[in-house]
Structure 1
Amino acid sequence: MKTFKMISLQIIDGEDLHDIELKDGLIINREDDRNRWLLEAFMKPTYTDVFEQAMNNDKELLIQVVITKKENDPAPFRTKVLKLSEINGSISVLLEGYLNKTKNDYAELLLQHLLDQGMTGDQLLEIFKLNMITKPKLPATKKIEN
Structure 2
Amino acid sequence: MKTFKLKALNVMEEQDGEIIPNRIPLLDGLIINREDDKNQWTIEAYIDHSYASYFQELRQLKSEILVQVKITKESNDIATFITSMISINDIGSNLNVLFVGNIVDRRKANIESMLTTLIEEGYQGKELLKKFKEIT
Structure 1 length normalisation: TM-score?
0.68
Deviation at 1:61, TM superposition (A): 1.0
In structure 1, C-alpha distance between the alignment counterparts of 2:110 and 2:50, rounded to whole Å: 30
* Counterpart for residue 32 of structure 1: 36
In structure 2, C-alpha distance between the alignment counterparts of 1:18 and 1:142, rounded to whole Å: 24
In structure 1, C-alpha distance between the alignment counterparts of 2:59 and 2:76, rounded to whole Å: 29
Q: Structure 2 vs 1, CA of residues 143 and 23 (structure 1 numbering), >3 Å: closer, same or farther?
A: farther
Q: Structure 2 vs 1, CA of residues 23 and 102 (structure 1 numbering), >3 Å: closer, same or farther?
A: same
Deviation at 1:143, TM superposition (A): 9.0
Moved more, 67-76 or 53-62: 53-62
**Candidates 61, 64, 78, aligned match of 2:68:** 64
2:33 partner letter: N
Is 1:80 matched with 2:64?
A: no
1:44 partner letter: D
Deviation at 1:86, TM superposition (A): 0.5
Deviation at 1:57, TM superposition (A): 3.8
Deviation at 1:55, TM superposition (A): 2.4
3-state DSSP of counterpart to 1:34:
coil
1:92 partner letter: N
3-state DSSP of counterpart to 1:98:
strand
In structure 1, C-alpha distance between the alignment counterparts of 2:31 and 2:100, rounded to whole Å: 10
2:4 partner letter: F
2:75 partner letter: E
Deviations 1:93-134 (A, max 9, x none): 011011012239xxxxxxxxxxxxxxxxxxxxxxxxxxxxxx
Q: From the CA coordinates, give the structure whose radius of gyration is larger.
A: 2
RMSD across aligned C-alpha pairs, in angstroms? 2.1
Q: Which runs of 5+ in 2 are unaligned?
A: 117-136
Structure 2 length normalisation: TM-score?
0.73
Deviations 1:39-87 (A, max 9, x none): 1000011221222123234521111000001110010001111011001
2:32 partner letter: I
Name the count of aligned residue pairs.
Answer: 110
